[in-house]
Chain A
Amino acid sequence: MNTMPWEKHDNEMRNQLSGSEDFLPDQEHWRRDAAWQRLSSALDQPASVEIDNARPGSLPQYSRRRMAILWIKWAVAASVVSVLFALLWWNANFGEEPVIALSEPETGSGKSYTRPVDESLNKKVVSTEAAHNSSKELALRNYPAGLKSLLKRNEVKALLPTDSGNTYLIANAGLNGMKVANERSENQSNSDKPVQGEVSSLDIQPAIVQVPDGGKTRPRVVHLNELGLQAPSPPGFDRKLMRSLTPDMVSASPPDGNFGKIRSAIRLDPFSN
């Protein structure tokens, strides 16, 4: 059998197929003049055909397709980023308003209580008295949006019940030696639901004291810097001791305003020294 490697055929085939020899089937006739008429009339029309691959030496890189894919990728990325920013903006501006509690100096008994809510102002604004004379009243804080959202995220779950039964007090309003700027609390009628609280100092970092109820979470203290962002604990802060405060200790506090273990635990905060 006289077989030949394909490589030997290549040149011959190339010459045959790329030459001017007519290799079309007999029944297939190409009408050159009719084709020219079509082409001529098409050339009279405005250019609608892209010529980006008609440059000498070019290969069909499908550049338009690749550019389209690139644009789609950019559009998707931009959409994702936009959605994220929109969510952040929504959270910052339309989130639940924080409850602001104004603190006033206590006049004598050494025990805190909650004053009735002034319905004419704002249902969420309440006033409390600090447990010691060291506290003073400040103007209501105008929280920046970032702090609002941070406070909301850090909202905690409960403080101590008072003798009113459906009211909660912020225990650390009575921190020994600490100048309490203001407190924030949220009164809720159902004692099973959480209440949030905030304590800020005038001269040191503010802190949010978060005390659990129902034994679901553990007490923790969140420190905020002046911008309202979460900051590391200051040196000497006994976080371990704070963690040792168990939910049982919280719930065991008597409802008469004697904060007992809670307050003593908070007193261990170096701010109070």
Chain B
Amino acid sequence: MDWQIQREGLAKGDRKAQQMIFRQYGKAMYQLCRRYISPPEDAEEALMNGFMKLYRHNGRGEFADEAAFAGWMRRIMVNECLMMLRSRNSMLRVADAPEVIDGHDYGPENSLSAKELFLLLEQLPVGYRTVFNLYVVEGFTHKEIANCLEISEGSSKSQLSKARKLLAQLWKKENEYYALGKAR
């Protein structure tokens, strides 16, 4: 369906246009929510809330092109995830985070697939994962992250650094495990 038609349909609140949008972007938005929120049920709830807001607010049809609309949709979903994390009071709970060994900010030795990277991110504490997602994937600056999460820029940088180190350690651990498995 042409974007202009979809746009007019969204502006009118047409259910068919809404379903088309959901079919087109639903999976990607769900995956986005899953990167922030671990239980799939909670991620889907954030997705539902995001689409509800998107459909109810878009009566004005503000977006001239689809790319801008998609960017706005991503931002809504990110906001929904952050709000859900905030409501669960788990945003920056990093006290139970594993000990991060000091070292250089070097990444894994090899490039990771998306699935491998997602599985590693799942193991990060919520605070680390949130900052990592916002900075690396969404492209936020530390200032924006600090504003979003109501933390200092220094905290944002620190959490990102720790997230990277922990990610490298986890990746190394996983590699050793697979190496051992292959050796046997």
Contacts and interface: CB of A to CB of B under 8 A. Distances in A.
Which of the four size classes fits the interface of chain A?
Answer: 35 or more
B83 interface: yes
Contacts of B54: 54
B26 A53 contact: no
Contacts of B114: 16-17, 19, 21, 23
Contact of B49 (A2, A24, A49, A56): A49
Given A17-B35, A17-B118, 13 more contacts: A17-B117, A20-B28, A25-B115, A36-B22, A39-B51, A43-B18, A47-B56, A51-B53, A54-B53, A54-B56, A54-B57, A54-B76, A56-B75
A20 B114 CA distance: 10
A47 B76 CA distance: 17
Contacts of B137: 13-14, 17-18
B57 A3 contact: no
Contact of A13 (B51, B52, B74, B112): B112
* Chain A interface mostly: loop
Given A13-B136, A20-B27, A35 B111 contact: no
B169 interface: no
A2 B53 CA distance: 46
Interface residues of B, number: 59
Contacts of B113: 16, 23
A85 to B, nearest CB: 36
B144 A6 contact: no
Contacts, number: 139
Contacts of B52: 39, 42-43, 49
Interface of B is mostly: helix
Interface of A: 1-6, 8-10, 12-14, 16-25, 28, 30, 32, 35-36, 38-40, 42-43, 47, 49, 51, 53-62
Given A16-B113, A22-B27, A30-B40, A59 B79 contact: yes
A5 B106 CA distance: 5
Contacts of A22: 27, 31
Contacts of B110: 2
B86 A55 contact: no
A136 to B, nearest CB: 74
B139 interface: yes
A177 B109 CA distance: 107
Contacts of B40: 28, 30
Contact of A30 (B22, B44, B115, B117): B44
